[in-house]
Amino acid sequence: MKAKLLTTASLLAILSACMSTSDPLGPPASAWGNYLSWYKVTPQAETGDPTGFLGSVHDGSRAYRQIYVNAVGEAVNRGQAGFPYPEGTILLKESFNNEAALEARRNPDITVMVKLAQGSSPATGDWEYVRPDGARGTGDSGLGAFCRDCHLFAAATDYNFINSRFYENNR
Ligand code: HEC
């Protein structure tokens, strides 16, 4: 039993070591320090798996999630301008473990997508992905590929799942 636990632990270590990250291309985290003043994409916190693509990531389907977009990307998100998003767009998602944590605003996991200048990271659609621990993923890094491979299901809306078009189609 102990040997099995050790094996699982070392396997996890190997897996996370394999997920390479990349040097920041986008702005420092202070760029989203005031996100609570941004346009809130989710009128109410969402739970469950509204897109059907979530699986166990972003704290899983039992988490309560809220999404925000900065002023640069707001018109596209709200359907007032066409995709793709302009450079400088920041999409941010808060994931709370459960409803009580949401109400208390306790320890949300923050994941972020930053739209870079065109051609900066073709492999990720010029998005920089930021994990809750601050690690960045662009280009052919493991983290960039991990986030991209699932956000690719939203390729028609520039890798962004939740926006006004999503709500129109799911009314
Ligand atoms: C297995 C699929 C999957 C993976 C992997 C994934 N996401 Fe997501 N992500 C989603 C789904 C589905 C949503 C839509 C909102 C929801 O259901 O919570 C989403 C929403 C988001 C949003 C809000 C913008 C939007 O598209 O609606 C951000 C920001 C985000 N993810 C960042 C990340 C980052 C950073 C990573 C990698 C560390 C990542 N995601 C990996 C499925 C995934």
Domain ranges of the chain: 22-169
pLDDT per residue as tens digits for the range 81-132: 999 999 999 999 999 999 999 999 999 999 999 999 999 999 999 999 999 9
Could you identify the atom of ligand 1 that is nearest to the CA of residue 51?
A: 12
State the Cα–Cα distance between residues 145 and 138, nearest whole angstrom: 8
- Which atom of ligand 1 lies at the shortest distance from residue 113's CA? 29
pLDDT digits (tens, 9 = 90+) for 124-163: 999 999 999 999 999 999 999 999 999 999 999 999 999 9
Distance CA 102, CA 109 (A): 11
Q: Which atom of ligand 1 is nearest to the CA of 63?
A: 18
- Locate the ligand 1 atom nearest the alpha carbon of residue 166 and give its number: 27
Cα(154) to ligand 1 centroid in Å equals: 10
Confidence of residue 17 (pLDDT cuts 50, 70, 90): low
- Give ligand 1 pocket residues (Cβ under 6 A): 50-51, 53-55, 57-58, 65, 67, 91-93, 111-113, 129-131, 146-147, 150-151, 154, 160-162
Contact 89, 126 (CB under 8 A): no
Q: Architecture of domain 22-169 in CATH? A: 3-Layer(bba) Sandwich (3.50)
Q: pLDDT > 90: what percent of the chain?
A: 84
- For residue 56, the model assigns a pLDDT of 84
| Predicted local distance difference test score (pLDDT) of residue 113 | 98
The span from the CA of 161 to the CA of 151, in Å, is 7
pLDDT digits (tens, 9 = 90+) for 37-78: 999 999 999 999 999 999 888 888 999 999 999 999 999 999
The best mutation among 22, 69, 93, 148 to test binding of ligand 1, ranked by most ligand atoms within 8 Å of the C-beta, falls on 93
